[in-house]
Amino acid sequence: MRLLLLHRPLHKLSALSSSTGLLMGSKQLLKSTPFTNPSPPSSQRHSFHSHRLVFSAFPPKPRSKARPFCLRTNGYSYVSHANVKIPKPAHLENTEKKRLEDLHCVILKKKLMEIGIDDEICVPGQYSHLICPMCKGGDSEEKSLSVFIEEDWSYATWQCHRRKCDWKGRTMAFAGRRSSYTASKNSTTDKMIREITVESLGLEPLCEELLAYLSERGISRETLERNKVKQKRCSKTDQISIAFTYWRNQKLIGCKYRDINKKFWQEKDTERIFYGLDDIKDTNDIIIVEGEMDKLAMEEAGYRNCVSVPDGAPSKASPSDKEVPPEEQDTKYQFLWNCKEYLKKASRIILATDGDGPGQALAEELARRLGRERCWRVSWPKKKKYG
């Protein structure tokens, strides 16, 4: 890294060089001092049209068009009062069958509407593919939800085929029946959050081999110890992985692992927050990077007021005219909502994500939610210039 420029009218960060090859913006500019934002001439202002979410003043949550999900019986029942069945004319039986199907249709449609499934575009007796109301089809908005409704409207089943969601269930129109379903993997409202500790995860201090590996990448032992970077050994293969621990108010919240092949995974059922969250408490200037190693490298360059996103960057940004979803549906960026108390105090947020397509997409998504008026972008030099 040789140059750091912030895409902001009338503002630039001075370039510094260092013998270690890590070059960042001016320390003086990134000190935690009050930030005033002069209004640039109209010809130099950026034009932004997408909806944003500013943590300093949250708007009321948008109300969903779908009715709130509620599990309940449908209230209809049928009890036979005769021991002997009396044959009925065929036309009367057909009429009653049609009435029963109509009743099933009304009840089932109501149940599907309550959980956000649009039955109007579903054809009974066939599989229909819709956008999942839980995961919204991800960044690509794919129609991943498969819905099947029985021809007589007696029951419906559904399943989302996105691996990160996997929401599925069934509901019936018969009397006394209730909807049964499994929560989406991304659901944060019903999911139980695990309580974890260093001991319960079996984490160990870094071995000399990993210390040497990280030292070659410019990360000192002191920085690793301050950020509580650990290791975890697989009992079956004896393979060692780096463990990046996520803390809030000195309490372990989550843990992310990286093996020698640069494969990442995280502890399940833990809350998503920024990596290094305690380092931005009560700060006016915040730097956001794309990975844990980037956060550690920033500290080596002298900047502790830096955090990393927990899940990396998306493949592409959402369409510019698409509104930011409400908190309960913004699953990909739930970590922003979980850390809003830390972010709302910042007057300047520096988005130092990677310069590739996904990195730029991440910066765009963050700016839409944090408020563009207080976000600065970093432009990194292309690697090919330095061979």
SS3 call for 10: coil
Both structure tokens of 200: 């319960």
360 and 260 assigned to the same domain: no
Residue 78: its H or E element: none
Range of the domain at 381: 1-33+48-59+276-387
Among 270, 291, 316, the domain boundary falls at: 270
Domain-embedded: residue 333: yes
Provide the CATH number for the domain around residue 245.
2.20.25
Same domain, 114 and 203: no
Same domain, 347 and 329: yes
Cα→Cα distances 25→42, 244, 312, Å: 27, 26, 23
Give the residues across from 244 on adjacent strands. Answer: 256
Q: What 3-state class would DSSP assign to 88?
A: coil
- On whether the CB atoms of residues 295 and 306 are closer than 8 A, the answer is yes
Q: Domain for residue 83, yes or no?
A: no
CATH number reported for the structural domain that contains residue 11 in this entry: 3.40.1360.10
For residue range 70-114, list pLDDT tens digits in order. 333 333 333 444 454 555 555 555 676 677 667 778 888 888 887
| Per-residue tokens: 194 | 């695990």
- Asked if the structure places residue 66 within a domain, the reply is no
Same domain, 260 and 339: no
| Any domain includes 65 | no
Asked which of 178, 205, 232 is the last residue of a domain, the reply is 178
Q: What is the pLDDT of residue 175?
A: 44
* The domain boundary residue, chosen from 245, 270, 295: 270
Judge if 174 and 224 occupy the same domain.
Answer: no
Do 53 and 148 belong together in one domain?
no
Domain co-membership, 258 together with 284? no
Q: Residue 312: is it exposed, middle or buried by C-beta count within 10 angstroms (0-12/13-18/19+)?
A: middle
C-beta of residue 32 within 8 angstroms of C-beta of residue 284: yes
Q: Is the domain of 328 the same as that of 380?
A: yes
Same domain as 116, residue 97: yes
Q: Which residues of the chain have pLDDT under 50?
A: 1-82, 84, 175-179, 181, 187-190, 385-387
Does residue 261 lie within any of the structural domains?
yes
Task: Write down the pLDDT at residue 193.
Answer: 86
Question: Is the domain of 173 the same as that of 202?
Answer: no
Q: Tell me, yes or no, whether 75 lies in a domain.
A: no
The first and second tokens of residue 333, run together, are 């960026």
| Residue 239 within any structural domain of the chain | yes
- Mapped onto helix, strand or coil, the DSSP state of residue 374 is helix
Structure tokens at 261: 């092949």
How many domains does the chain fold into?
A: 3
Sheet strands (E) in 19-90: none
Rounded to an integer, what distance in angstroms lies between the CA atom of residue 47 and that of residue 49?
7
Q: Are residues 261 and 309 both part of a single domain? A: no
- Whether 74 maps to a domain, the answer reads no
Residue 298 and residue 374 in one domain: yes
